[in-house]
Structure 1
């Protein structure tokens, strides 16, 4: 009887006719594995996306809904030589921890054996040039064999298993030539020992395994530390919620059982599992994930609370606005996952190199052996040279060069408050030499205040607030918040760059720019008294009203602009706001180039003009209203509010009230790009120098093992430099 496999519980339905599943894949260790898995899965009809995240050894798959059974992906991975199962955080962490312990055990065995074999090799090396008897040398060789052979059999399992699985499915990976080199070196050593030869290579074999395990263990720990940064999000998720099931009756239920509109109780010391609005109670909460501020924020009825926030003092009643996968915390996690979906140019280069590696290195080793044999060398010397070539040409350094830097840099940027929405964003940010800022909601704080609400009739204010709920513009959001609007007007449409309009009791109602509402005269009167205010107009039939709205600059905006200019990046301000307000902001920030009253089309035209002049432009603007110009720029970034994170369209986004993440993104990206290039130079330069020396026969397997492992460790240590950049006081 054959058991059926139902993975529907793990499938996410994305809309647009697509389904998604994450699979944990064992045995993924290099760029060659990534390339093989992605090509193998992408070849399945109706698969629209197959991307491997090497950091947590997870493959993300998307396909046309209803076209495929997810079990087919697991079967296909098995055909490729990889064991796979649905990805779950707890299970994946447990498996990863066990793998780490296994690697450490293997490393301990290999290191112990290496020390002992090297101690036995020293008298053999010295005895070969002195008066050691052949029987004594053979004795030391056999003792070395008794230590090295079982140690290699155990400690070499991570490489032997991987190589066997690859060969069993008709494929090759980086572990195949490593395994061949180790096995050939051990076999040759046994033959040499039986033949009473002066040299054996047990020390080279076991030392190679030791060096490789050191590199693999360091690589795994680097990835685990970076993954822990994003994994800390899971620790912020509360699994249960105290829900009101009656006016004064509460019940503890799973977080997944809560829906929008429910009322929940958040006690002191508890983390919120939902996003919502406080309806009763006052307290202080730790919401550093949202604002980046470590100081506790005071909250009261009407304040927003997000999943992951820690309640410090008083009890709160909260009306749920989002729960489970709809919360801000879940959106951040999805954004972090999405960052691996796009391959950078350097990763693509490493992928191509890894595909060429196996046939090239095997051919090189075979030609080396053949060439030396034809040239008159003994079969023994020819095979030793071939083994040295197999070992020294292992492209572990090349495979680690770029992914390790990206892993370290993305983790550092996350700690600085920057979330990547594109896998190649790091490289593009590093190339910019000009930044265009939007003003409203970008250089200024997203919160607005309506300063003339008392001069507007209450019913008009309430109606304008309901109309504002249909708009994504931050000014409209401020109006809706100030009016306390809860339910939007039905049938309202938005006209980009102008405003929103609808029909109420046979009359057209509009909210937007003064010209859109034919309220220019009223707007001019208000602006003459308050030239720096922003205005939004409302019209109903023949009645016109204008709201004056203010917002302040972000607290570190001036310092960030100055820091960017110090780094040689020109800064420009483009805003759809009025000229007096834009001029005041530009003068305060000392931005020499600015334009006011620009439309989305004007912003795109300016970006295209700068691109024609050879500039690499970053657009920093609201992820909602500036979507076209964000897409037109070389790279884009959004200082986006928590409530709108799911609608982010920029390559990078950040939360909080400060502009410092823009500087962090630039500094970390520039350093990461330098490290990527350095690692490529190190990896390519190593092979350029080492391979000819090995082919010419000047390298023993022992020296080859040390050189190859040393290059991999050097690349990883260089990548770790990307964890920190020099901090300047803003």
Structure 2
């Protein structure tokens, strides 16, 4: 977005600009560990207004010794700085604060300023109202002058216009003037500099013409320009506020703290940031879960809509996992915290929402590069126009008015708005449909996807399998298998872990999970148990090991010798058939890669109408398949949920995972969908394609405008007033074109599914170590 469409926004923001940058100690306490000695600190920068600001900060901040990278989010005006926290972090953070001040971007910590309400919007409305009042009255007076008012009357109307325009320029124009002054004071330029120069010159020339009894004055041009610029900015601010409000609504789902249960049974209230993994918390009915945790005791119904988009309550009991932000509805629970608040599922969703518009997408980079060269090019063009007209006409007033018209008409508001407005609207539309997107570059890559690779267990299926041969397995073997399975987040492991209620005492195990194979547990006496695929669990394959059962099977072995087999079935995920049908309508191919046996994979593929599938696929094989598709010129979208899917998710052109996915899977994915339905996949593709189409249209409109308007202004065919109207009209046209993405309740490109609905009682299977 251009600075001319987002400058210093009102008195409330000016106060924030003068706020004190936090000390290194404060930044350190608010930072969070990322691993490998790296930490991340998030700061609010009220002075960030455009792509040029983002480019400057993301270029300068990594130049500080100890800073690894920086990412700026324009919608939330937040910068995330990753730095080395293992070697003299105080000096790194001190240098970071000095750099912010040197660049003219004083910072404050999130929440340290009053963020209630929307004072910026109120200030924008006031400035817009003043500019509107002034422009209407000055325009009425100008009409009288254009109608042929005599000299004395004309001079009177000009003086009245000057008196009306002057306070309007001071009050409404400060939005641009302060931004331009801050930039110049720190030795740099932005797009508010030529805009401020054009407005002031238009008023100055008009005042000179009035004093000298000249025939023409352009007070209407200066105030009308401010009015249209402020109108575009207010509209843009409203759309960005929608994106910010979605983030704030997620943040509000997290309570301020919780009641901790001590070892002696006493209770104390802890603030959210004081809750550590391992602590036991008392959660009353009606309370929201403060951090990710596991139910230790109690039964209740929970509202998991924040995690899976389903409003129907779901029962929880001992052993159930509860993500942060979910709501306890009926009973009292004792919860064991498994992660800190800043690393919770809810915090992860908030970070993804904040990042949705900050990616360095290709379209965004084009707009940013154009914005970066705008100011010097416009200054040179206006200077060349002035010199040229002086040489041709010798009339300095005519030359100066033409140069001012060039300054105004070349404002690239349309180009600056072309990308971010569409990205904000698209991200909001996806969020309304329960889809989180990491950044604009992900949407750009999603629009290019022409082949979808589906995982099976937990993706095409619900990932909630049931043990179906409980009566046939040994109780002792079930207890051992359940104890081992509790160390894994694979869907079959979770199903196996909750199947044992015997409470048997078992030895301690040293447990290691091998993605794609299963889980290995070594007891204190050296006995090795393995739970997973037959090829992994057994030293030598027995006849029929992989063919004896129609259902999916998991083998338990001891020192490589067979102990027992567990059989599972899993329900098909909702919307799977519709998703495949709609992908076909979008001309996107689909295939299934699964680590499961051929029989259940083949059955699922036939039911969904997917022609291509591969069973017995290891994690390395999935990566190889995705890379082979890329080498063949395809743009694969990987949809998976498991730990063993993470490499393939990272290797794919673009990736997607359900909110129920393993942490590493969600982190590796570009998109996360909260609802159970797989219709999110074609929805994301259609929305991304529509966004890309609108961005290209916006670029075309902006380029067409400049091809017509700039030569007209340079040749003297546009007065400052006409220049102001033309520039503002181009911005409004781009915004209105972008808003087309919000007109439809469903993203364009969807028709009703043409394939037959899959029966509700259809079940399929999966194996531990296999991914869906």
TM over 0.5: yes
1:303 matched to which residue of 2?
A: 320
Q: Are the aligned partners of 1:473 and 1:625 in contact in 2 as well (CA < 8 Å)?
A: no
1:121 matched to which residue of 2?
A: 142
Alignment gaps of 5+ in structure 2: 1-20, 754-772
State yes or no: 1:458 paired with 2:475.
yes
d(CA) in 1 for partners of 2:462, 2:33: 35
Q: Are the aligned partners of 2:308 and 2:660 in contact in 1 as well (CA < 8 Å)?
A: no
SS at match of 2:338: strand
SS at match of 1:264: strand
d(CA) in 1 for partners of 2:598, 2:40: 47
1:197 matched to which residue of 2?
A: 214
Question: Of 94, 113, 122, which aligns to 1:91?
Answer: 113
Shift of 1:500: 3.0
d(CA) in 2 for partners of 1:692, 1:714: 20
1:410 matched to which residue of 2?
A: 427
| Superposed CA offset, 1:555-578 (max 9, x none) | 211111111111111111111111
| Superposed CA offset, 1:525-566 (max 9, x none) | 6854x4142434433453432211221110211111111111
State yes or no: 1:538 paired with 2:557.
yes
Further displaced range: 484-493 or 298-307: 484-493
d(CA) in 2 for partners of 1:624, 1:377: 75
Shift of 1:339: 4.4
1:172 matched to which residue of 2?
A: 189
Question: Of 112, 130, 135, which aligns to 2:152?
Answer: 135
1:709 matched to which residue of 2?
A: 728
Further displaced range: 362-371 or 291-300: 291-300
1:388 matched to which residue of 2?
A: 405
1:520-599 aligned within 5 A: 524=544, 527-528=547-548, 530-540=549-559, 542-599=561-618
Q: Are the aligned partners of 1:328 and 1:642 in contact in 2 as well (CA < 8 Å)?
A: no
Question: Of 73, 78, 86, which aligns to 2:96?
Answer: 73
Distance change >3 Å, CA 474–CA 519, structure 1 → 2: farther
Distance change >3 Å, CA 533–CA 428, structure 1 → 2: same
1:136-175 aligned within 5 A: 136-175=153-192
2:621 matched to which residue of 1?
A: 602
Q: RMSD between aligned alpha carbons?
A: 2.6
1:600-639 aligned within 5 A: 600-639=619-658
Question: Of 333, 341, 347, which aligns to 2:364?
Answer: 347
Shift of 1:146: 0.6
Q: Are the aligned partners of 1:511 and 1:539 in contact in 2 as well (CA < 8 Å)?
A: no
Q: Are the aligned partners of 1:507 and 1:541 in contact in 2 as well (CA < 8 Å)?
A: no
Distance change >3 Å, CA 297–CA 405, structure 1 → 2: same
SS at match of 2:229: helix
Aligned length: 722
Q: Are the aligned partners of 1:174 and 1:396 in contact in 2 as well (CA < 8 Å)?
A: no
SS at match of 2:463: coil
Shift of 1:340: 5.3
Q: Are the aligned partners of 2:22 and 2:109 in contact in 1 as well (CA < 8 Å)?
A: no
d(CA) in 2 for partners of 1:475, 1:5: 47
Distance change >3 Å, CA 188–CA 333, structure 1 → 2: same
Shift of 1:323: 4.4
Shift of 1:143: 0.6
Distance change >3 Å, CA 305–CA 470, structure 1 → 2: closer
Shift of 1:523: 8.4
Distance change >3 Å, CA 662–CA 190, structure 1 → 2: same
d(CA) in 2 for partners of 1:426, 1:459: 51
2:74 matched to which residue of 1?
A: 54
d(CA) in 2 for partners of 1:610, 1:157: 54
Shift of 1:193: 0.6
1:278 matched to which residue of 2?
A: 295
Question: Of 28, 34, 38, which aligns to 1:18?
Answer: 38
Question: Of 130, 135, 160, which aligns to 1:109?
Answer: 130
1:719 matched to which residue of 2?
A: 738
Further displaced range: 170-179 or 615-624: 615-624
Distance change >3 Å, CA 488–CA 364, structure 1 → 2: farther
SS at match of 1:648: helix
Q: TM-score of the superposition, structure 2-length normalised? A: 0.88
1:373-452 aligned within 5 A: 373-452=390-469
d(CA) in 2 for partners of 1:326, 1:24: 20
Q: Are the aligned partners of 2:303 and 2:311 in contact in 1 as well (CA < 8 Å)?
A: yes
SS at match of 1:622: coil
Further displaced range: 292-301 or 230-239: 292-301
State yes or no: 1:314 paired with 2:292.
no
Shift of 1:604: 2.8
Q: Are the aligned partners of 1:429 and 1:670 in contact in 2 as well (CA < 8 Å)?
A: yes
Shift of 1:5: 6.1
2:685 matched to which residue of 1?
A: 666
Q: Are the aligned partners of 1:82 and 1:165 in contact in 2 as well (CA < 8 Å)?
A: no
Q: TM-score of the superposition, structure 1-length normalised? A: 0.93
1:33 matched to which residue of 2?
A: 53
Q: Are the aligned partners of 1:467 and 1:489 in contact in 2 as well (CA < 8 Å)?
A: no
d(CA) in 2 for partners of 1:617, 1:61: 31
State yes or no: 1:186 paired with 2:206.
no
d(CA) in 2 for partners of 1:317, 1:647: 27
Q: Are the aligned partners of 1:619 and 1:636 in contact in 2 as well (CA < 8 Å)?
A: yes
d(CA) in 2 for partners of 1:318, 1:60: 32
Distance change >3 Å, CA 523–CA 263, structure 1 → 2: farther
1:647-666 aligned within 5 A: 648-666=667-685
Q: Are the aligned partners of 1:331 and 1:646 in contact in 2 as well (CA < 8 Å)?
A: no
d(CA) in 2 for partners of 1:696, 1:18: 57
| Superposed CA offset, 1:87-135 (max 9, x none) | 33x73634x82222221111111111111111111110101xxxx3211
SS at match of 2:668: coil
1:250-261 aligned within 5 A: 250-261=267-278
| Superposed CA offset, 1:401-421 (max 9, x none) | 112211221222222222223
Shift of 1:198: 1.0
Shift of 1:519: 7.7
Further displaced range: 454-463 or 5-14: 5-14
d(CA) in 1 for partners of 2:629, 2:81: 38
Distance change >3 Å, CA 366–CA 186, structure 1 → 2: same
Further displaced range: 283-292 or 309-318: 309-318
Q: Are the aligned partners of 2:41 and 2:82 in contact in 1 as well (CA < 8 Å)?
A: yes
Distance change >3 Å, CA 613–CA 84, structure 1 → 2: same
Shift of 1:270: 2.5
1:512 matched to which residue of 2?
A: 532
Q: Are the aligned partners of 2:282 and 2:334 in contact in 1 as well (CA < 8 Å)?
A: yes
Distance change >3 Å, CA 611–CA 343, structure 1 → 2: same
Distance change >3 Å, CA 255–CA 48, structure 1 → 2: closer
d(CA) in 2 for partners of 1:277, 1:50: 34
Shift of 1:191: 0.7
Q: Are the aligned partners of 2:649 and 2:665 in contact in 1 as well (CA < 8 Å)?
A: no
d(CA) in 1 for partners of 2:510, 2:70: 40
Distance change >3 Å, CA 426–CA 337, structure 1 → 2: same
Q: Are the aligned partners of 1:534 and 1:549 in contact in 2 as well (CA < 8 Å)?
A: yes
Distance change >3 Å, CA 62–CA 661, structure 1 → 2: same
| Superposed CA offset, 1:371-405 (max 9, x none) | 11111251111111100000011112211211221
